[in-house]
Amino acid sequence: MNFRFLRCARKPEASCAARLSELHTGQHGRILEIRGGWHLRQSLNQVGIHIDDVFSVERGAHLGGPILIQINSAQIALGHGMGQKIIVCLDENR
Amino acid sequence: MKTAKRVPESSPHASTPSAQEDDHPRIILLGQPNSGKSTIFNQVAGYRSITTNFPGATVEFTNSHISIDGQTCDLIDLPGVYSLTALDNAARETKRYLLEEPVSLIINVIDASLLCRSLELTLQIIEMGKPMVLCLNMIDEAERKGLTIDEARLSELLGVPVISTNAALGVRIHELFSAAFSALRSPVQPRALPMSRHVEQAVQSLTGHLLECPAVPHISPRLLAIKLLEDDPYFTVWLDHDQNGISRQVKKMQKTLEEAHGQPADSVISAERHALSMHLFEECTTLSHPQDTWHSWRVHLDRAVLHPFWGYIIMAAVLFAFFNLIFEFGALLEQPILAFFARSELWLTTLLPAGSLAFSLTRGVLQGLAGGTAIVLPYLIPFLIGMSLIEDIGYLPRIAFLMDNFMHRLGLHGTSVVPGILGYGCSVPAVMATRILPSTRDRFIAAVAAILVPCSARMTIILGLVGYYLGGTAALFVYILNLVVITLVGTVLARLMPEESPGMVLVIPSYKKPSVKTVLSKTWLRSKDFVIFAWPILIAGSLVLSLVEVFGWDQIITAVLSPLLKLLDLPPAVGMTLIFGILRKELSMIMLIQALGTTDVASVMSSTQIFVFTIFVVFYFPCLATFGILGREVGWPKAIAASLLTFSLATVLGVAARFIGPFFF
């Protein structure tokens, strides 16, 4: 699990970058950036979503609905708007 | 860790007078939502705190005086918090309690299967510098996930006693409290773990400044320093009175951290805490493969339950079966109990002369009992059992997930569906549950929606009147109409109060096997209110109604209400029942029987009138208890506005039902 401590060398503009809300069921990735203010950052950090954490999508967003991810051993549901503010790096190899 | 003693009188963080500080130590159960605090509380205090498998279920404190092995203490179950930085009202209340009330010891309850995330709160509690015991609850769940935790190692790293428990089965609870009492006798200071060098320097430098400041709030300076760096509004309020240059120091340190890490200071500290938790996690756990059957079972179930198409079909089927079973079961019991009371009334006529005061009063008591027993209980008990099952299994947050998209159309998010669902039980806890929502506007809209949802008292009217006399389809129609009205009202309110909703962040808990004991205890706790408190009111109300009739006062009340009754085309006798319905909605139904003088409502009211009466009662003014709680939660002007809104809705819908009803019934 040590890889979680490694800083992601890739920038949000990198080719792997996508919005979390765009991901499909079964895809994996790493959190690159949280584009929001203090409240958004705190509400995500508190439930265990931090920059550089790896996650998998358990249910992708359908028709503007919420997204369900597995992160740090927990299942977290995020509203579509939230998902749009989280920039992730897709892991194509998994 | 030293704490400054001087507290400015104007400080919002001054300690409250310790009137409650008696001889008994005060032990606090503190942890993240859904970690099992209420379950532990109930294990030692008897079933007094409602437990559910939904994060944020506890929104108020429950306390009890407990005695274990001859040692006594006051045990307090606080609402769960993810962090000491509070983002909603329930968390704010917990934080206020922790920082402003005298606390002897904290039992930090954590869900062992989510050890890493839970330790982030533990690290913050340690920074408070209070004696604590760490409880690794749901240890069975952790083992199923393949997680083995070395208690001794964790205890050594944090400097606090660590006890693994399985609160649902009562495993090692006694040991947990023995450790707590032992820690009370010989308090051990928990060890605050240092952050990385750069961040630690900033924290220590600010702590140093705070220690020199004469007007520091009565809390640990290290915790205060960290929270000020994180820009936590609860603490930064104190900076408004700052005359010692602390604000300047805070800004300077924040800038240093931001420049060095390329992130806002709050993110830097959060990342540090996360890294420390990961470090602790790796130091004291070993991972193996999760138990396959459990893992695959959960995954498969969630795949179906949260499926974008099948998920909704399953939800509709579950809710349909739920309400249908309640109706079938309730109707099965209602008939024989009503027949028993009808026979008793006949028997009464042979004992006392009809029309005498004694006869009227005895009949009043009998009809009050008939209403409480035959009409309400047969529907209320199965409803509460079913509701407890849905909650304890963990289906409620999954409904919130499925409903998020729909709730967005109302300008709310998925979590707002929870007060609505709880509203089917009782509007009072439903309105209180709006505390889990972060914005005032969301809380108001969700509270209005929650009071419009037919509570179990109104459910008995829908099922007992419309269901019983007009059929199940008509009862289902009332529910559907109610949902449509709630949607429209929600949409209109959201348009009138445009504000961006913060969006849903919801932790979906693991499925849990419901325990028969918990389900029954919870049903008892919730129905106790009805049996103990409502029955006397029902009987007293029924008696008052008899007296009103005997002395002819009903004419005055009926005259006052006659314009409304004429508008709705309801019999004049019904007027009184609407007044009593304001006390408790069940009373409308019972008073109706009393006012009409028969348990066979259909013999004196037409089908349309039954329908109009039900529609009006379902939507009009929430009961007094709900009104009180609404005023407390959203403020009196909004509570009055909400009540006027519901009354207007009830009148408009009642009149519409009066004209449309004859086409169907």
Res. B7: pLDDT tops 60:
no
Name the pLDDT band for B601 (thresholds 50, 70, 90).
confident
- What is the per-residue pLDDT for B295? 67
Give chain A's radius of gyration (CA, Å): 12
For residue B179, the model assigns a pLDDT of 94
**H or E element, residue B429:** helix B427-433
**Confidence class of residue B52 from pLDDT cuts 50, 70 and 90?**
low
Cα separation, B139 vs B145, whole angstroms: 10
pLDDT of residue B58: 60
Transcribe B497-524 into DSSP letters: S-------EEEEPPP-PPPHHHHHHHHH
Question: Residue B647: what pLDDT?
Answer: 92
Provide the number of CB pairs (under 8 Å) joining chain A to chain B. Answer: 125
User: Encoding tokens for residue B531?
Assistant: 């049996």
Overall average pLDDT of the B267-275 stretch: 94
Position B380 scores a pLDDT of: 75
In the chain, the amino acid numbered B517 is K
User: Could you tell me what percent of chain B has a pLDDT over 70?
Assistant: 90
Euclidean distance between CA atoms B557 and B545, whole angstroms: 11
Side-by-side strand order, sheet with B62-68: B62-68, B71-77, B26-31, B105-111, B132-137, B162-164
- Distance of residue B506 Cα from the nearest chain A Cα, in angstroms: 5
DSSP assignment letter at B171: B
| Position B489 confidence tier, pLDDT thresholds 50, 70, 90 | very high
What string of H, E and C letters represents the secondary structure of B315-347? HHHHHHHHHHHHHHHHHHHHHHHHHHHHHHHHH
pLDDT score recorded for residue B275: 94
Report the range out of A16-20, B368-372, B584-588 with the highest average pLDDT. A16-20
Q: Which residues of A touch B (CB under 8 A)?
A: 1-2, 4-5, 34, 38-48, 50-51, 58-59, 62-66, 68, 72-82
For CA atoms B217, B218, B222, B223, the dihedral sign is negative
What is the average pLDDT across A16-30? 92
**What predicted TM-score, i.e. pTM, was given to this entire model?**
0.79
ipTM metric: 0.86
* Residue B366 and residue B346 in contact, taking contact as beta carbons nearer than 8 Å: no
B635-663: pLDDT as tens digits: 889 999 999 999 999 999 999 999 998 88
- The CATH number that domain A14-91 falls under is 2.30.30.90
At A13, is the secondary structure helix, strand, or coil? Answer: coil
Domains of chain B: 18-185 (3.40.50.300), 197-285 (1.10.287.1770), 310-663 (no CATH)
Find the chain B residues whose C-beta atoms sit closer than 8 A to any C-beta of A: 82-83, 85, 87, 113-114, 116-117, 120, 145, 231, 263-264, 266-267, 270-271, 274-275, 278, 282, 302, 306-308, 397, 400-401, 404-405, 408, 413-414, 438, 500-508
Distance from CA of B202 to the nearest CA of A (A): 20
**Which chain A residues are within 8 Å of B264, Cβ to Cβ?**
38, 41
Q: Residue ranges per domain, chain A?
A: 14-91
pLDDT (tens digit per residue) in B122-173 = 999 999 888 999 999 999 989 888 899 999 999 999 999 999 999 988 899 9
Contacts of B306 in chain A (CB under 8 A): 58-59, 68
- What's the pLDDT band for A57 if we cut at 50, 70, 90? very high
| Cβ proximity of B326 and B379 under 8 Å | yes
Find the residue in A nearest to B400 (Cα).
A77
* CA gap B399, B418 in Å, rounded: 9
pLDDT value of position B633: 81
Model confidence band, residue B528 (pLDDT cutoffs 50, 70, 90): confident
Q: Do A76 and B505 touch (CB under 8 A)?
A: yes
pLDDT tens for B82-91 read 999 988 877 8
Distance, CA of A48 to CA of B510 (rounded, Å): 16
Q: In angstroms, rounded to a whole number, what is the distance separating the alpha carbons of residues B30 and B86? A: 14
Question: Quick one: pLDDT at residue B322?
Answer: 82
Task: Report which of residues B581 and A66 the model is more confident about.
Answer: A66
Given a cut of 50, whether residue A1 has pLDDT beyond it is: no
- Chain centroid to CA B325: 25
> Across residues B353-359, what is the average pLDDT?
81
Six token digits for residue B240: 């408004």
Distance of CA B432 to the CA centre of its chain: 6
pLDDT at B274: 94
Cβ distance of A45 and B267 shorter than 8 Å: yes
